[in-house]
């Protein structure tokens, strides 16, 4: 079945257009609710959201959809995606919903669905729900319509769980942390969690107004927290994205540290304590070759998947791994969470910083990355990667990098973009390879 609504991370798009309308959101609620009406118990769905203006509209539409088919609704308000996953399990809910477009601008929004186990839905469930959107679902009898209520202690429950990912004797006293919450879902919980563990907090990106989420801030714009680190003399900077499932770190010098270095650090720490499962780390094809070489040097393997944290998670579960992530900052620690959690990952980094006694610039430089270049080419239609000239450019680039690097070309799962990435030991060859392919794609897309 061809997917019309679901992409690599739920449903996402421009609000009040295409798939992101109140009508579609209500129908998703009805379809997902009907899909998870199993057994004779009173059914329940947990709904969280980030801070986008359109969150109010989509939340109300989904409440209407779920209650109309007989599901009770628990509303969390603005909460990180991993908090929704956690509370779906903790509240014994049948399904969980996060209304968010992650790192996208406020004009976009999305719907992510979780099963009762707190994991994102399988392809089978997504395809079933997608098929159900085409036809009206049976509505509940008048006496069986669901109720909706908002719980006030959701933030406290999540903060308690996050702090529980650290040993009881680990505190952050004496640590000054600059944190950028992207004016998003974690604007209250992340600074509170770090403060409760003893850290001194300098926060930015904690004044959401519905339109400023990810706007020049957060993990996609780490320069802002880097500037804050320098201004206030912080020991480290933490940058989350709009729904707080991504993490980018900045050292005390203002240097940006990506997900590959974070995975290398956490993986090495877990391995040293005998807590790393599977004998390695799961990452995507976008992770730097330097990470693979570093892990191999300390006796660990790197398993690569296609881009998307859902594919990382699938490989982790299949191979018995407990650490995986993406260069972009998704970090999955299965011992503590069922999905990417930037706050939990940040705490692992902060704990290592405290226990090592090292400065962040020393601790976070785990390996020397090889030159890597990623460029995006926007297109308006068609299939540029099937063009003969594009295929020839890719073949030529692969030949030039043979044995000395890697090439990854893929369409974005959320935007009309072709992503072209090359890496290798020779920066000039990498740049030439990317330039030639991008030029061919632009010509084909013209």
Are 350 and 378 in the same domain?
no
Catalytic residue, candidates 54, 68, 100, 102: 102
Is 1 contained in some domain?
Answer: no
CATH of the domain at 378: 3.30.310.50
- pTM of full prediction above 0.75: yes
How many other C-beta atoms are found inside a 10 Å radius of the C-beta of residue 139? 13
Query: Does the active-site annotation cover 400?
Result: no
DSSP 418: E
pLDDT recorded at residue 369 = 94
Are 353 and 438 in the same domain?
no
CA quadruple 327, 83, 251, 221: dihedral sign: positive
Are 15 and 62 in the same domain?
yes
Are 53 and 105 in the same domain?
yes
DSSP 302: E
Q: In angstroms, what CA-CA distances link 321 with 189, 289, 301, 318? A: 28, 20, 11, 8
CA distance 339 to 390: 36
Is 342 contained in some domain?
Answer: yes
Q: Is the distance from CB of 175 to CB of 198 less than 8 angstroms?
A: yes
Q: Is the distance from CB of 419 to CB of 308 less than 8 angstroms?
A: no
Q: CA 384, 11, 334: angle at the middle one, nearest 5?
A: 105
Are 411 and 341 in the same domain?
no
Is 189 contained in some domain?
Answer: yes
Question: Which of 97, 123, 152 corresponds to the end of one domain?
Answer: 152
Is 67 contained in some domain?
Answer: yes
Are 67 and 180 in the same domain?
no
CA distance 178 to 194: 11
DSSP string, 71-119: -EEEEEEE--HHHHHHHHHHTT-SEEEEE--TTS-TTEEEEEEE-TTSS
Are 197 and 136 in the same domain?
no
Question: Which of 97, 119, 152 corresponds to the end of one domain?
Answer: 152
CA distance 99 to 49: 4
Is 290 contained in some domain?
Answer: yes
Q: Mapping DSSP to helix (H, G, I), strand (E, B) and coil, where does residue 203 land?
A: strand
pLDDT recorded at residue 2 = 66
- pLDDT tens, residue by residue, 285-338: 999 999 999 999 999 999 999 988 889 999 999 999 999 999 999 999 999 999
Q: Is the distance from CB of 249 to CB of 360 less than 8 angstroms?
A: yes
- The two tokens of residue 102 are 């992650």
Question: Which of 152, 170, 204 corresponds to the end of one domain?
Answer: 152
Q: Which among 403, 434, 399, 405 has a CA at the least distance from the CA of 420?
A: 434
pLDDT in tens for each of the 446 residues of the chain? 567 899 878 999 999 999 999 999 999 999 999 999 988 899 999 999 999 999 999 999 999 999 999 999 999 999 999 999 999 999 999 999 999 999 999 999 999 999 999 999 998 999 999 999 999 999 999 999 999 999 999 999 999 999 999 988 899 999 999 999 999 999 999 999 999 999 999 999 999 999 999 999 999 999 999 999 999 999 999 999 999 999 999 999 999 999 999 999 999 999 999 999 999 999 999 999 999 999 999 999 999 999 888 899 999 999 999 999 999 999 999 999 999 999 999 999 999 999 999 999 999 999 999 999 999 999 887 788 999 999 999 999 999 988 788 999 988 866 789 999 999 999 999 999 999 999 999 988 87
Are 99 and 236 in the same domain?
no
Are 338 and 408 in the same domain?
no
Is 120 contained in some domain?
Answer: yes
Is 190 contained in some domain?
Answer: yes
Are 83 and 132 in the same domain?
yes
Q: Which among 98, 121, 106, 102 has a CA at the least distance from the CA of 36?
A: 121
- Domain residues for the domain of 425 are 372-445
Is 407 contained in some domain?
Answer: yes
Q: Which among 139, 16, 135 has a CA at the least distance from the CA of 66?
A: 139
Are 134 and 173 in the same domain?
no
Are 319 and 421 in the same domain?
no
pLDDT recorded at residue 352 = 96
CATH of the domain at 192: 3.40.120.10
Q: How many folded domains does the chain comprise?
A: 3
pLDDT recorded at residue 9 = 85
């Amino acid at each position: 079945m061809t997917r019309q609504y679901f992409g690599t991370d739920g449903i996402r798009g421009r609000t009040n257009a295409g798939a992101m309308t109140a009508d579609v959101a209500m129908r998703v609620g009805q379809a997902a609710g009907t899909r998870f009406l199993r057994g004779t118990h009173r059914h329940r769905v947990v709904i969280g959201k980030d801070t986008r203006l359109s969150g109010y509209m989509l939340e109300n539409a989904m409440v209407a959809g779920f209650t109309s088919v007989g599901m009770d609704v628990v509303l969390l308000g603005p909460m990180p995606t991993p908090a929704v996953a956690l509370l779906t399990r903790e509240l014994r809910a049948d399904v969980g919903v996060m209304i968010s477009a992650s790192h996208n601008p406020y004009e976009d929004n999305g719907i992510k669905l979780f099963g009762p186990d707190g994991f994102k839905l399988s392809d089978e469930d997504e395809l079933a729900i997608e098929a159900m959107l085409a036809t009206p679902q049976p509505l509940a009898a008048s006496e069986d319509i669901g109720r909706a209520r908002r719980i006030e202690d959701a933030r406290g429950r999540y903060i308690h769980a996050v702090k529980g990912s650290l040993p009881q004797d680990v505190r952050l006293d004496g640590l000054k942390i600059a944190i950028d919450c992207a004016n998003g879902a974690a604007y209250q919980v992340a600074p509170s969690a770090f403060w409760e563990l003893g850290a001194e907090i300098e926060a930015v990106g904690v004044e959401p107004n519905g339109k400023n989420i990810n706007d020049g801030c957060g993990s996609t714009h780490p320069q802002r927290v880097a500037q804050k680190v320098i201004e206030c003399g912080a020991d480290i900077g933490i940058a989350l994205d709009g729904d707080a499932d991504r993490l980018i770190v900045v050292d005390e010098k203002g240097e940006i540290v990506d997900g590959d270095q974070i995975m290398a650090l956490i993986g090495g720490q877990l391995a040293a304590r005998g807590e790393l499962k599977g004998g390695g780390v799961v990452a995507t094809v976008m992770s730097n070759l330097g990470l693979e070489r570093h892990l191999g040097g300390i006796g660990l393997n790197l398993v690569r998947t296609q881009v998307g944290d859902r594919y990382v998670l699938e490989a982790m579960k299949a191979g018995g791994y407990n650490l995986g992530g993406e260069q972009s900052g998704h970090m999955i620690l299965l011992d503590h969470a069922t999905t990417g959690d930037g706050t939990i990952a940040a705490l692992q980094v902060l704990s290592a910083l405290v226990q090592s006694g090292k400065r962040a610039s020393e601790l976070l430089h785990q390996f020397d990355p090889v030159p890597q270049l990623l460029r995006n080419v926007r297109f308006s239609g068609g299939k540029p990667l099937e063009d003969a000239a594009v295929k020839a450019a890719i073949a030529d680039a692969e030949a030039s990098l043979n044995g000395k690097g890697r090439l990854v070309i893929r369409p974005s799962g959320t935007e009309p973009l072709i992503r072209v990435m090359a890496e290798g030991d020779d920066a000039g060859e990498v740049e030439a390879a990317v330039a030639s392919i991008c030029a061919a794609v632009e010509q084909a897309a013209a």
